[in-house]
């Protein structure tokens, strides 16, 4: 993950994606430093989307988050390959501080790493544009918070938040199984929870759009950035349901 000082300055406007944004992430070019500038262009587009998402989510949903982008250069952190670029929105510093006070110093020592928090994400790969909510294996406290909330309140709230996301899929780790949002019922969510274990499995709710050469129309259209931004905002109610916060405090028994 890039440090704050390395964050690219967002462009003044949301710029449409280009075929080169995806091509520079292909297997053949992922290690090539000659394509760093090309990947930086894509990273800046994602950075601008992240900044716009922060403003819209705070204005429309009253939720303050923090935004970061991933590395666009081959580095030991990414295995010397840039096969994926993303912007992610996770809990702000004040919320991290509150969570640290709940978890304690030992459990919260790695909380500053963004992927160890539930986060909203827009990502590019060589063949796909993704919009998602992700709970990493190491963000077990957010996964456990969600699980405890469902156990305490029942399935209705979680089911409602998921079924409001027609077009997205609930997925478990790298399993092939998928649960289609908009068509879920209690039985399907009970099936999911029979397998999902926070700290052992990653959880994600994602929508993936095929990228060039399979699809040149949708992801390269001038309105594509605004569309994925709107889809990211649609995930906010689910984020608020799952992620630990003062308003969703179900991590430990009361």
Contact 228, 49 (CB under 8 A): yes
Sequence-distant (6+) residues with CB within 8 A of 206 are 130, 131, 132, 133, 134, 168, 169, 171
Burial-class residue 103 by CB neighbours within 10 Å (0-12, 13-18, 19+).
middle
Who has greater pLDDT, 9 or 144? 144
Who has greater pLDDT, 119 or 94? 119
Residue 155, phi then psi, degrees to nearest 5: -85, -15
**CA–CA dist 30, 23 (Å, integer):** 9
Who has greater pLDDT, 216 or 39? 39
Which of 27-31, 133-137, 163-167, 211-215 has the lowest average pLDDT?
211-215
31-66 pLDDT, tens per residue? 999 999 999 999 999 999 999 999 999 999 999 999
Q: Which contacts of 155-159 are long-range, i.e. CB under 8 A and separated by 24 or more positions?
A: 155/186, 155/189, 155/190, 157/241, 158/189, 158/241, 159/184, 159/185, 159/186, 159/189
CATH class entry, domain 4-242: alpha beta
Residue 10, pLDDT > 50, answer no
Who has greater pLDDT, 12 or 205? 205
Percent of the chain with pLDDT over 90: 73
Mean pLDDT of 207-229: 90
Which of 55-69, 93-107, 195-209 has the lowest average pLDDT?
93-107
**CA–CA dist 41, 45 (Å, integer):** 6
Percent of the chain with pLDDT over 70: 89
pLDDT of residue 11: 43
**CA–CA dist 165, 235 (Å, integer):** 7
**CA–CA dist 242, 228 (Å, integer):** 21
pLDDT of residue 205: 98
pLDDT of residue 176: 79
CA-nearest of 48, 59, 60, 134 to 90 is 134
State the pLDDT confidence band at 253, using cuts at 50, 70 and 90: low
**Sequence ranges of the domains in the chain:** 4-242
């Amino acid at each position: 993950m890039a440090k704050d000082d390395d964050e690219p300055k967002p462009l003044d406007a949301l710029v449409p994606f280009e075929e080169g944004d995806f091509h520079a992430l292909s297997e053949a070019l992922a290690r090539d430093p000659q394509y760093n500038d090309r990947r930086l262009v894509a990273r800046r587009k994602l950075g601008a989307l992240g900044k716009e998402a922060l403003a819209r989510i705070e204005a429309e949903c009253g939720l303050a988050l923090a935004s970061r982008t991933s590395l666009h250069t081959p580095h030991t952190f990414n295995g010397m390959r840039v096969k994926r670029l993303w912007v992610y929105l996770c809990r702000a510093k004040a919320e991290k501080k509150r969570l640290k006070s709940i978890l304690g110093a030992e459990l919260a020592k790695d909380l500053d790493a963004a992927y160890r928090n539930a986060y909203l994400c827009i990502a590019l790969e060589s063949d796909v544009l993704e919009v998602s909510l992700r709970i990493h294996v190491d963000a077990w406290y957010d996964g456990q918070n969600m699980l405890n909330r469902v156990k305490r309140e029942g399935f209705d709230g979680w089911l409602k938040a998921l079924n409001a996301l027609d077009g997205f899929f609930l997925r478990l780790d790298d399993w092939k199984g998928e649960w289609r949002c908009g068509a879920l019922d209690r039985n399907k969510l009970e099936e999911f929870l029979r397998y999902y274990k926070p700290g052992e499995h990653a959880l994600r709710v994602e929508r993936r759009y095929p990228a060039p050469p399979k699809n040149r129309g949708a992801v390269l259209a001038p309105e594509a950035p605004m569309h994925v931004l709107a889809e990211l905002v649609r995930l906010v109610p689910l984020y608020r349901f799952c992620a630990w916060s003062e308003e969703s405090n179900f991590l430990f028994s009361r």
